[in-house]
Amino acid sequence: MSGRTRAMLAGILLAALGLTACSGSASPAPASSATPPTHVGTVTDFALPDALNNVSLTTSTGKKTSLAALKGKLVVLSDAMTLCQETCPMDT
């Protein structure tokens, strides 16, 4: 086997090992529940002003909504630079 063939096989092996390492999870996914675990994120429990509850939001599918419409649901808000063409999509 030539040196070039060995180098190519070694590269393929390293790539496969890297992909395998990235595909696993350190812990099993938590069961779905209404309340997230206390070690995840920031839990707040206070009333929001009406002005904030009624601010127009846009979902990832383009639908208009508000925080008031999502009352009682788990909400994750993420700001993203939608017009950014460089690293923003990867950062998001």
pLDDT for res 64? 93
Residue 75, amino acid: V
User: Residue 46 phi/psi, 5° resolution?
Assistant: -150, 155
pLDDT tens string for the chain (92 positions)? 577 777 777 777 667 666 655 555 555 555 555 666 777 777 677 788 888 889 888 887 889 999 899 888 888 777 666 677 777 777 76
Task: List the chain domain ranges.
Answer: 47-92
* Alpha carbon distance 9, 86 (integer Å): 33
